[in-house]
Amino acid sequence: MSNDTAMETLGALMRELRQADGMSLTDAALATNTNKGHLSHVEHGRDRPSRELVAFYEDRFHADGQLWTAFVELVAGARPRQRSGQAAAAVGYPIPGDASTFVADITPDAVIMPPGFPFEKIWRLRNTGTVAWEGRWLRRIGPPAGLGIPSSPLQVEIAATMPGQLVDIIVPMRAHSQAGTAEVHWKMVDGDGYEFFPDRYPEGIFTTVIVRDGAPIPQIRRLE
């Protein structure tokens, strides 16, 4: 899908959801502190929406992940897939001497929690290479919200990490609203979304979230 087509698809879906809810464009602009003209351009596929705007529409109009899926297609779909050697070579990845080692799940994995429980997932990695980590992000694979999957930011910044150092990566998350088990995967990328390790760690790092109706509050750090 081309970038223009992805933007038109996302905008049309946003417009349909807003109109189905009965909210006017003026009210939506006020609610999001957005210029009405810009919002109209977004809904007609002429302007690109911010993550914050997509998040408002997703939550306010109960899109069940449809908007996030379209947004991910917009920001990442047109980019060459980092899986191929040709795409990796085009941006200089993998970097010689670059290496990462998983150390621990600081927040326990596969925790049972009630629906919609807000929490932080924390992983600890070590820079075991000879290359400093700067300007890196942990990016979620797939939409960052949806029916039956935990929600989170699309990506979080990784603190600068020198060779040999440990780094804790903290991601704010919210458990899905329906009972069931979900697994979410993440990869280390640069600011443009290219993977630093295209030839290794095919599954990235991941977390498993188990939701059960009536489950007690787990003993993990909760977000308020």
Pairing of strands 111-113, 205-211: parallel
pLDDT at 153: 79
Nearest alpha carbon to residue 220 among 170, 155, 158: 170
Q: Cis check for the bond before 94: say yes or no (omega within 30 of 0).
A: yes
Nearest alpha carbon to residue 172 among 103, 222, 102: 222
User: What three-state secondary structure class fits 72?
Assistant: helix
Fold of 3-76: 434 Repressor (Amino-terminal Domain) (1.10.260)
Q: What is the pLDDT of residues 64-84, one digit of tens each?
A: 677 877 887 777 654 444 444
3-76 matches 86-211 in fold:
no
The number of beta carbons lying within 10 Å of the beta carbon of residue 7 is 23
The token pair that represents 53 in the structure block: 């705007």
pLDDT at 91: 64
Instruction: Tell me the whole-structure pTM to 2 decimals.
Output: 0.67
Distance (Å, whole) CA 40 – CA 22 = 16
Is 191 exposed, middle or buried (CB count within 10 Å of its CB: 0-12, 13-18, 19+)? exposed
Nearest alpha carbon to residue 58 among 72, 38, 44: 72
Ranges of the chain whose pLDDT falls below 70: 1-4, 64, 76-91, 146-147, 221-224
Pairing of strands 111-113, 100-105: unpaired
| All structural domains of the chain with their residue ranges | 3-76, 86-211
Domain 86-211 falls under CATH 3.65.10.10: no
Nearest alpha carbon to residue 14 among 32, 172, 1, 144: 32
Helix (H) or strand (E) holding 211: strand 205-211
The token pair that represents 81 in the structure block: 């897939």
Distance (Å, whole) CA 60 – CA 43 = 16
pLDDT at 32: 94
Distance (Å, whole) CA 45 – CA 40 = 9
